[in-house]
Amino acid sequence: MTTLLLAGGGTAGHVNPLLAIADRIRLRRPDDELIVLGTAEGLEARLVPERGYELATIPRLPFPRRPDGYALRFPGRYRAAVRRVEALIAERGVDAVVGVGGYAAAPAYSAAHRRGVPIVIHEANAVPGYANRLGARWAAGVGIAFRGTPLRPRGGAAELVGMPLRPEIERLADPGRRRAARTEAAALFGLDPTRPVLLATGGSSGAQRINEAIAGAAAAITAAGWQILHLTGEHRDAVAAELPDYHPVRYADRMDLALAAADLAVSRAGTSTVAELSALGIPAVLVPYAVGNGEQRRNAAEAVAAGGAILVEDAACSVEWASTALVALLGDRDRIAAMAERMATTGVPDATDRMVALVERALPPGPA
């Protein structure tokens, strides 16, 4: 029996691929023991136990970004966290550490390196995070979601594996299943399955720019013959007047059905979103989040270069833009069809299997 420690979490961008990897390992290697290392504050604290996995926690330790009191205390706290993970590795006989980045990943990588345990990393973003940059120095294998991600394992090159997807979304790559899911989506969201659907989403928290642009232009968009499925986010109010073909939803528990319904998407360019749209060949207008280190723009770059997506700056995402340029795009169904074909060329529907294969190749000879 092999024991694997899967480390990472904090945000959906880390937790979702971690759970996709864990689910596929459990399916392919049912005798393996899986332990997830996270924090008590991240999404993993709820989602990991709900999925039936054991969760071990360590303190949340962001890397310090300025010379202050926290920075002075950080080295001691980090060493203590590493010692806790080392003890877990020794007590449970961990054979390999699989990390996806996030607060729990860096101590796990340091502990695995100290114990001589193989490390395998998945990097979901085009711009790697601190933890994965640290772990890559010791990693036996690194899987990346985007071509050109500047991360490589010791003495080798990173492998393009794509973004591990939740099984319910991965299944939509099959055209028959997607047609069936589209019918189910129509019933769930109150859509007409025979008419085109614009999916607008800014992620689970919403995006004010996208919300205001789509809601403000809803009358023009629906007048162009399109239905709107608008995921406004948990912390955003729907801001459009009631229209027959405008369907605002605060949060979609069945994101797979929202994607199955979509003929075009307007969305942020988070790594999970771009990966899902690419894998399913859903053409998109991507509006990168303007705050941060530019990772969302980098996430969007390949799809935009391939012609499967259009990039619109956050500041340009307005009611005027949606009422004119977006409506013009919606009226050009041939262009949208061509974008769908090009978007599909950038996707990796079997990313989960690729990542698990990378893990298996890194395991010591004994476990199988």
pLDDT digits (tens, 9 = 90+) for 44-86: 999 999 999 999 999 998 888 888 888 889 899 999 999 999 9
Query: Quick one: how far is CA 316 from the chain centroid?
Result: 25
User: What is the CATH code of the structural domain delimited by 3-165+349-362?
Assistant: 3.40.50.2000
Query: What are residue 354's phi and psi, to 5 degrees?
Result: -65, -40
DSSP code, position 307: T
Q: Where are the domains of the chain?
A: 3-165+349-362, 167-344
Neighbours of 345 (CB within 10 A): 13
**Mean predicted lDDT score pLDDT of the chain:** 92
d(CA 27, CA 162) in angstroms, rounded, equals: 19
> Which pLDDT does position 258 carry in this prediction?
96
The reply to whether 3-165+349-362 and 167-344 are identical in fold is yes
d(CA 97, CA 37) in angstroms, rounded, equals: 10
> Which pLDDT does position 30 carry in this prediction?
95
Question: Pairing relation of β-strands 159-160 and 197-201?
Answer: unpaired
Percent of all residues in the chain with a pLDDT value above 90, rounded to a whole number: 77
User: What is the CATH code of the structural domain delimited by 167-344?
Assistant: 3.40.50.2000
Where are the alpha helices (H) located in 266-350, listed in sequence order? 271-280, 295-306, 319-321, 327-330, 333-344
d(CA 269, CA 300) in angstroms, rounded, equals: 6
d(CA 73, CA 85) in angstroms, rounded, equals: 19
Neighbours of 150 (CB within 10 A): 12
DSSP code, position 145: S
Show the low-confidence residues of the chain (pLDDT under 70).
204-206, 234-241, 366-368
Map tokens 């640290």 to a residue.
134
Angle at which helix 333-344 crosses helix 271-280, to 10 degrees, equals 110
d(CA 162, CA 354) in angstroms, rounded, equals: 8
Neighbours of 170 (CB within 10 A): 22
Per-residue exposure over 201-239, b if at least 16 CB sit within 10 Å of its own CB, e if not: bbbbebbbbbbbbbbbbbebbbebebbbbbbbbeebebe
Q: What is the pTM of this model?
A: 0.84
> Which pLDDT does position 367 carry in this prediction?
42
> Which pLDDT does position 239 carry in this prediction?
62
> Which pLDDT does position 240 carry in this prediction?
64
54-61: Cβ within 8 A, 24+ apart: 56/88, 57/104, 58/84, 58/85, 58/104, 58/107, 60/10, 60/103, 61/103, 61/106, 61/107
